[in-house]
C-alpha cells in the first residue's frame, strides 16, 4: 500500500443529455462561461447528438462541464417519483441575489421546479433537459 495517495483532482463533470450541445450553450450563457468546443453526432446518431465542453473563465478554479449524448436519456423527475427516472446528481450554484438569479436562469431557458424544499435560501431550477440545479444564496 502506498504511504501517500497520488494527487487526484476533479477536472470536469460530465452531464448526459438528449441534446448535449444545446444544453452546453444553456450552461455557458447561465454561468457566463466560454463555450470551448463541440463535436457533432457520430455516424448513425441523430442530429441533436454530439459532445460539448464549457469551461470556467481563465483564473477561475472550478471544474469544467462536459455534455455528452445519451441515446436512452430520460428526463429525470424531481422530486423523485417511484418507478420513474430520478436525478442522481445536481449542481449547486452560489448566488448573491436569489431573485435576480432565478430571473436570469429563467431568461436563459430554465424553469422553476414545482417543489421548493428550502425557499429561504435556495431555488431548485430545471435546465432545458430536466436536470435539477440549485441556486444557493450565500
Here the CATH number for the domain that contains residue 118 is 3.10.180.10
Q: b/e per residue, 21-46, with b = 16+ CB within 10 A? A: bbbbbbbbbbbebeeeeeeeeeeeee
Q: Express each pLDDT in 31-71 by its tens digit.
A: 999 999 999 999 999 999 999 999 999 999 999 999 999 99
Report the half-sphere exposure of 94 (CA within 13 A, side-chain side): 2
How many structural domains does the chain have? 2
Q: pLDDT, tens digit, for every residue of 64-118?
A: 999 999 999 998 888 877 777 767 788 999 999 999 999 999 999 999 999 999 8
Instruction: Identify the CATH number of the domain in which residue 39 sits.
Output: 3.30.720.120
In this structure, are residues 108 and 26 in contact, taking their beta carbons and an 8 Å threshold?
yes
User: Is 137 within a domain?
Assistant: yes
Q: Distances from the Cα of 88 to the Cαs of 40, 58, 66, in angstroms?
A: 27, 29, 17
Extract the C-alpha cell encoding 131: 436536470
Amino acid at each position: 500500500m502506498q504511504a501517500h495517495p497520488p494527487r487526484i483532482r476533479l477536472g470536469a463533470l460530465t452531464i448526459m443529455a438528449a441534446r448535449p450541445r444545446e444544453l452546453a450553450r444553456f450552461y455557458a450563457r447561465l454561468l457566463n462561461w466560454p463555450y470551448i468546443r463541440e463535436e457533432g453526432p457520430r455516424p448513425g446518431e441523430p442530429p441533436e447528438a454530439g459532445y460539448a465542453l464549457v469551461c470556467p473563465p481563465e483564473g477561475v478554479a472550478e471544474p469544467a462541464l462536459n455534455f455528452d449524448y445519451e441515446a436512452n436519456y430520460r428526463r429525470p423527475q424531481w422530486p423523485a417519483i417511484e418507478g420513474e427516472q430520478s436525478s442522481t446528481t445536481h449542481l449547486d450554484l452560489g448566488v448573491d441575489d436569489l431573485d435576480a438569479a432565478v430571473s436570469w436562469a429563467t431568461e436563459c431557458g430554465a424553469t422553476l421546479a414545482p417543489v421548493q424544499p428550502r425557499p429561504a435560501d435556495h431555488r431548485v431550477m430545471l435546465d432545458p433537459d430536466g436536470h435539477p440545479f440549485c441556486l444557493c444564496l450565500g
